[in-house]
Structure formats: structure tokens, C-alpha cells
Homo-oligomer: A and B are copies of this chain.
Amino acid sequence: MSEPINDIAHLGHLELYTPKLEESVRFFVNIWGMTESGRKGESVYLRGWDDYERATLKLTAAKQPGLGHFAFRCWSKQALERRVKVIEAMGAGIGWNDGDLGHGPAYVFQNPDGHRMEVYYETEWYQPPPELKPALKNQAQKFPGRGVNVRRLDHLNLLASDVSAVRKFMEDALGMRLTEQIVLDSGVEAGSWVTCCNKSYDVAIARDHTGSRGRLHHFTFAVDTREEILRAADIYLENGVFIETGPHKHAIQQTFFLYCYEPGGNRVEVANAGARLILAPDWKPIVWTETERKKGQAWGLKTVETFHTYGTPPVEHK
């Protein structure tokens, strides 16, 4: 194994399309406990209380739900330049933009399935207004004490017509490392989880059974404990938020999950953060077989059908 590439620091933010902008904002602010940190044009910018950057979730009004783009912050300007060169050499580049509310110039590109991505370095550290100043100065913002209290952006899950191609792209373009995957008896790669840091994954890639391209399965914000996810389920129940599945424990990555749909129709997850870290530099990817996957989730829950079919934008399911 070659030495790990270390140009990418972490998943920085994502842009979500929603046909119900204000309802989505209310969901993320009131139910998830996020903070609105800016508005521009048809977009509203949000953040979790422990995100250090100004915005980690950008909601943009659109006709259809789905993923606008997602972005990685690089370790340095030089690292950013190195990555851009690699991406351009791969022929995946689209070009530079002028940045956005909260961050500086970003290089735009797309993976083989058409998911739009960005890399950037310059960012705006969040400066809380007086009423949101934290008591402890090693914290980005006051703990909200509202709803689910999501802590920080954790990961996203892409639906892809060709999982292998997208996974290899994440490895080659960004130096991400594969930590777990599902390989069917046919040899087809049905799911892969890749990381650019010590978290066990920052991006998951799942096979799109509809054959569509570039769709979003879900994205995830983290809270501290499994108990907080149970409480989140209580809060969903009380507020009429449809729970698709969970709380339960995935066998893969052992994530304790809870999936619902935000008002715009996108699947969103709350998961527990961080106890499980990948510290080994020579981690050997865990390969799950078709037989193993049929056992269901860690404690025996069968995976709900929609989990295999629903994504955004929605498609006619054959």
C-alpha cells in the first residue's frame, strides 16, 4: 500500500435542493436544532452547533429535491492546487467559481455518476452573535437545547449507477480510503464507504437500483450518543415527521441510525458520532458478501424496501 494522500481535510458542506424551502428551513432549525447563518438569493445557509465553518448545509429552492453539490475542504492552498491538477488530469474538472457565502473560491468537478463536487480551502470561521456565544471558548457556538441538537455534518450517501466507478474516483481524485464495502456474488460492488480522515466514512456510495445517475440517498448530521438518537425519534414522533427506519444499528460501520424525510422530500439521517475511529494507517477494507447482507441490520432488523429504491430526485420506479 502506498502512503496515504493527505490533501483533503474533511467533508465541508453540501447543498440540498428542496421544493419547499421555508418548510425545510423550519425542519432543520426547529426539529434538528440547527442555526441559520445566512441567506442569499434562493438559498438559506445552516450549521450545527459544533461546525466550525459558517455553513455546512445550504438549502436551495428547486423544483425537485436532490443534491446540489457537496464539497471538501483541503488541508492547505497547496493541497488544493495539487488536487485540482489531479482532477483536471482525470478529465473530471468543470472549473473554478468565486466561492459562496462562507467560503472562498472552489474548484467544481463531477464524478462519473454526475454528482457535482467542489474542493476549496479558504473558509469563514463562524463568529457567533452575542446571544449564541458559547460558555466554553473551545466550542464554536452555544449548545442550542432545541429539538435534536445536531452537532456537525457527518457524511453523505450517494446513489450511483456504477458504485465501483464512483468509489475509484473518490480514491483517485481525492485520496480517500475505502473502509468497508458490499460485493455481491456476481462480483458487482453494491456499496462502498470511503473516508478522508479518522472518521470511518465521509461518503457512502450505494447502488441505484433504478439505474438513475447522480442521485442522493441521504446525508447525515451527528449527535453524541445513541440515546440522543432515541430522543430524536421521540421528537420526530411528536412532530409528525415520518420515520422511514430506525433507530437501529447498521452491521456495516456499526452506525446507529435514524432515517426520515425532510419536508422537501430528501432522506436525512441522524447518527452517532465518532466513538468508532479508523486509526490504523493500513486498515484492510471489510468486504460484506451478499449472504451476510441478507441477515439484515446488526440486531436483525430487515432493511425496509424504500431504503433500496427511494432517493432524490425521485424517479419512477420500475
Contacts and interface: CB of A to CB of B under 8 A. Distances in A.
Given A52-B280, A76-B281, A227-B226, A238 B275 contact: no
Contacts of A199: 198, 277
**Interface secondary structure of A, over-half rule:** loop
B275 A151 contact: yes
Q: Give the copy number.
A: 4
Interface string A209-245: 0000000000000101111001001111110101101
Contact of A226 (B6, B138, B139, B230): B230
B298 A238 contact: no
Contacts of A236: 299
A275 B274 contact: yes
Contacts of A276: 50, 274
B75 A281 contact: yes
A222 to B, nearest CB: 7
Contacts of A168: none
Interface stretch (A21-29, A141-149, A156-164): A141-149
A68 interface: no
Given A76-B3, A300-B243, A9 B279 contact: yes
B277 A136 contact: no
Nearest to A240: B135
Q: List the 7 closest A-B pairs by CB distance, nearest first.
A: A274-B274, A198-B198, A10-B279, A9-B281, A224-B275, A75-B281, A6-B6
Interface of A: 1-4, 6, 9-10, 31, 50, 52, 73-76, 78-79, 134-139, 142-143, 145-148, 151-152, 180, 197-199, 222, 224-227, 230, 233-238, 240, 242-243, 245-249, 251-254, 256, 273-277, 279-281, 283, 286, 288, 298-301
27 contacts: A4-B76, A9-B281, A10-B280, A73-B281, A74-B281, A135-B237, A136-B251, A136-B298, A138-B251, A138-B254, A139-B254, A143-B238, A145-B146, A145-B147, A145-B235, A152-B279, A197-B198, A225-B225, A225-B227, A226-B230, A233-B298, A243-B299, A246-B299, A273-B274, A274-B275, A274-B277, A301-B301
